[in-house]
Amino acid sequence: MPEGDTVWLTAARLHDSLAGGRLSRFELRVPRHATADLTGSIVLEVVPRGKHLLMRIEPDVTLHSHLGMDGSWRLRRAGERVPGPRAAGVRAVLMTDAWLAVGSDLARLDLVRTDREDEVVGHLGPDLLGPGWDAAEAVRRLGVSPDRQVAEALLDQRNLAGIGNVYQAELLFLRGVHPTTPVRSAGDLDRLVRLARELLMANRTSPGHVTTGDRRPGRRHWVYGRAGAPCRRCGTLIERGRIGRPVEQRVAYWCPYCQPSP
């Protein structure tokens, strides 16, 4: 699933291309909104909210989307071939005089009034890349469930919005914390969430989620995706496992020496 920095970059590209443009084509290929038509309306802005995208369209409509595991928004020049009605995975087609935006395999797509956006994103915690980032509130929310595994708590978008599996794994390695450690034993939560923001901010303008400072292929991460490979710090083999409740388990990576089990 895309991390918050990927969604931020997607929103920035959509905004730069579509904002201020008048829609000459508007299709939502989902049953709930199949008859919606905003042709002729102007796209006001596209903003991210954690892992969610909010495209605000005049006069007071927001197209909300969530990429889920495999979703994407692709930009093409206007005049290029529009995906036909049977194109696999296509959920949204928007066109202005200059650009064609195609949303594919989106996990969620909603039309709501702009003043009611809280219906789709109001449950989210502080946005790590948002202008209203509140580290103290993120720490408070994490601390509400002190016995919860810290990796699971970081992935809960109700605590802070934007962290996925990559940053969960990398953050905990950098802080020397095992992913199954209870929140109450995870050390300085303020330093943890501030480091999370630093990492996402550093990566928001380019793809790759680089946490080691080395952008060469195969050297971008400390532990994520490196099960069975030697730790870059101590040489111990990286381990991989599952965290969280059985119905919502997620993958975790860690170094058993640098991140001792609680």
In the set 3, 117, 152, 170, the catalytic residue is: 3
* % pLDDT > 70, the chain: 98
Say what the pLDDT of residue 260 is.
96
Q: pTM to 2 decimals?
A: 0.93
CA 163-203-176 angle, 5° bins: 55
174-192 pLDDT, tens digit each? 999 999 999 999 999 999 9
Beta bridge pairs of residue 230: 237
Give the confidence band of 250 by pLDDT, cuts at 50, 70, 90.
confident
% residues pLDDT > 90 (the chain): 92
Known catalytic residue: 2? yes
Q: What is the pLDDT of residue 162?
A: 97
Note whether 4 and 128 are within 8 A (CB): yes
Reply yes or no on whether 250 is catalytic. yes
Q: Over the stretch 185-241, which tens digit does the pLDDT of each residue have?
A: 999 999 999 999 999 999 999 888 999 999 999 999 999 999 999 999 999 999 999
- CB neighbour list of residue 237: distance below 8 Å, 6 or more residues apart: 228, 229, 230, 231
Active-site annotation holds for 256: no
| Set 13, 25, 76, 250: catalytic member | 250
Distance, in Å, from the CA atom of 153 to the CA atom of 182, rounded to the nearest integer, reads 9
- Measured in degrees and rounded to the nearest 5, phi and psi for residue 31 equal -55, -40
Cβ-contact 34, 109 below 8 angstroms: no
pLDDT at residue 52 greater than cutoff 60: yes
- pLDDT confidence of residue 117: 97
Choice among 29, 49, 51, 141 that is catalytic = 51
Q: How confident is the model at residue 94 (pLDDT cuts 50, 70, 90)?
A: very high
CB atoms within 10 A of CB 104: 19
Average pLDDT, the chain: 95
CB 27 within 8 A of CB 90: no
- pLDDT tens, residue by residue, 106-147: 999 999 999 999 999 999 999 999 999 999 999 999 999 999
* 246 among known catalytic residues: no
Catalytic residue among 2, 48, 126, 179: 2
Residue 246 has pLDDT above 70, yes or no: no
